[in-house]
């Protein structure tokens, strides 16, 4: 069994155990909330963040059950962030099922209110799961501080994502900054550094040279799949990002490279609901034919190459170097 499959399975078991304990003896809305958090969190996810935490730990320690248990904190953090993100974006589908605020049977405002509170519960659970780990107190404190900083970075990226798209002056560099804050820190860099800190790795800051560019490359690939991917593989609509008016490298490069009439065609439709299949197909043709798709792919490859070039500086272990390469490939050369 490969590294990711093995530890994804172990993380799933640890998550299930965490929720069983949380749900025991509960009733009413508390039980319903925890049950739905359990269903939402267990549904589908790749467990990328826990696996990166375990990988960071491995840089300076044998992998053991306590790091697997601690790593579920990142899935709980992920649920917290996804619930809020889906409410902000008014998304209907997540991981092939309903978004969390669509899982309750009340009126819309009540559903969203309950969901925000449930997300806050998941945030509290994430800290609880980490603090339960049997690690040296100084390492645990540093890891907890980093987890809080990671959520802070994500919040800043979310604020940038919400506000920058309101104006007309957003640039591809702005989008890269959003990816750095909103995705790279909490998907790759923060989790991996947390694991390294818990293991007593000598210089966790060195992980930045791997985690940040790989996280950016991952999000750029995610944006590509968000327009050109297969809905069955993704578990969500490929038109949703466009209908939300999401400013990506694909769109901004198209504004730079396409004909004026083609740019106007896109601007008249982006950010509007119920874009027709034919219109969206035309948008994709414009993005691809003007060269924006290939330019975006090249940008993702550039950040991928930066991450790969840093690996030798992180470890002398050939097994660890190989796994860092494999993880980079999984993040960037994927179809979902």
DSSP per-residue letters across 117-181: HHHHHHHHHHHHHHHTS---HHHHHHHHHHHHHHHHHHHHHHHHHHHHTTSS---HHHHHHHHII
Distance CA(6)–CA(54), nearest Å, equals: 11
Distance CA(174)–CA(5), nearest Å, equals: 35
Task: Look at residues 43, 42, 94 and name the one whose alpha carbon lies nearest to residue 240.
Answer: 94
Given 3-state DSSP classes, what are the helix, strand and coil percentages for the chain, each rounded to the nearest 5?
A: 75, 0, 25
More confident residue, 273 or 44: 273
Residue 95: which region, alpha, beta or left (left: phi > 0; alpha: psi -120 to 50)?
left
Set out the domains of the chain in order of their start, with CATH numbers: 3-332 (1.10.600.10)
Residue 220 has pLDDT above 90, yes or no: yes
Q: Check residue 89 and give its pLDDT.
A: 83
Element (H, E) at 60: none
The tokens of 287 are what? 């993005």
More confident residue, 212 or 5: 212
Q: Check residue 166 and give its pLDDT.
A: 75
Within its chain, how far is the Cα of 245 from the centroid? Answer: 19
Q: Check residue 1 and give its pLDDT.
A: 59
Task: Look at residues 267, 244, 245 and name the one whose alpha carbon lies nearest to residue 254.
Answer: 267
Question: What is the pLDDT averaged over residues 294-321?
Answer: 97
pTM (2 d.p.) = 0.91
In the 3-class helix/strand/coil scheme, how is 108-125 assigned residue by residue?
HHHHHHHHHHHHHHHHHH
Q: Check residue 235 and give its pLDDT.
A: 66
Percent over 90 (pLDDT), the chain: 82
Residue 265 has pLDDT above 90, yes or no: yes
- Write the CB contacts of 327 (distance below 8 Å, at least 6 apart in sequence): 4, 51, 52, 55, 214
The tokens of 211 are what? 């985690």
């Amino acid at each position: 069994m490969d590294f990711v499959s093995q530890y994804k399975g172990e993380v799933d078991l640890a998550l299930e155990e965490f929720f069983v304990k949380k749900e025991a003896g509960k009733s009413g809305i508390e039980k319903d909330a925890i049950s739905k958090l359990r269903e939402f969190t267990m549904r589908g996810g790749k467990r990328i963040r826990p696996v990166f935490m375990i990988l960071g730990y491995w840089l300076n320690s044998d992998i053991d059950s306590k790091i697997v248990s601690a790593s579920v904190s990142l899935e709980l953090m992920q649920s917290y962030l996804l619930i809020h993100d889906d409410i902000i974006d008014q998304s209907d589908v997540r991981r092939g099922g309903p978004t969390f605020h669509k899982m309750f049977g009340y009126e819309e405002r009540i559903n969203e209110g309950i969901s925000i509170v449930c997300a806050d519960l998941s945030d509290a659970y994430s800290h609880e799961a980490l603090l339960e780990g049997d690690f040296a107190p100084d390492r645990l404190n540093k890891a907890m501080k980093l987890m809080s900083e990671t959520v802070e970075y994500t919040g800043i990226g979310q604020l940038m994502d919400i506000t920058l798209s309101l104006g007309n002056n957003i640039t591809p560099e702005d989008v890269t900054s959003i990816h750095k804050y909103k995705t790279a820190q909490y998907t790759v860099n923060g989790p991996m550094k947390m694991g390294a800190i818990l293991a007593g790795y000598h210089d966790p800051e060195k992980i930045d040279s791997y985690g940040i560019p790989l996280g950016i490359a991952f999000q750029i690939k995610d944006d590509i799949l968000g327009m050109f991917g297969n809905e069955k593989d993704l578990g969500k609509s490929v038109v949703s990002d466009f209908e939300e008016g999401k400013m990506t490298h694909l769109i901004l490069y198209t504004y730079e490279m396409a004909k004026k009439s083609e740019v106007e065609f896109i601007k008249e439709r982006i950010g509007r609901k119920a874009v027709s299949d034919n219109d969206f197909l035309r948008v994709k043709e414009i993005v691809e034919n003007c060269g924006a798709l290939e330019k975006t792919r090249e940008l993702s490859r550039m950040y991928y190459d930066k991450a790969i070039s840093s690996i030798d500086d992180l470890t002398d272990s050939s097994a660890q170097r190989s796994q860092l390469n494999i993880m980079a490939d999984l993040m960037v050369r994927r179809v979902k």
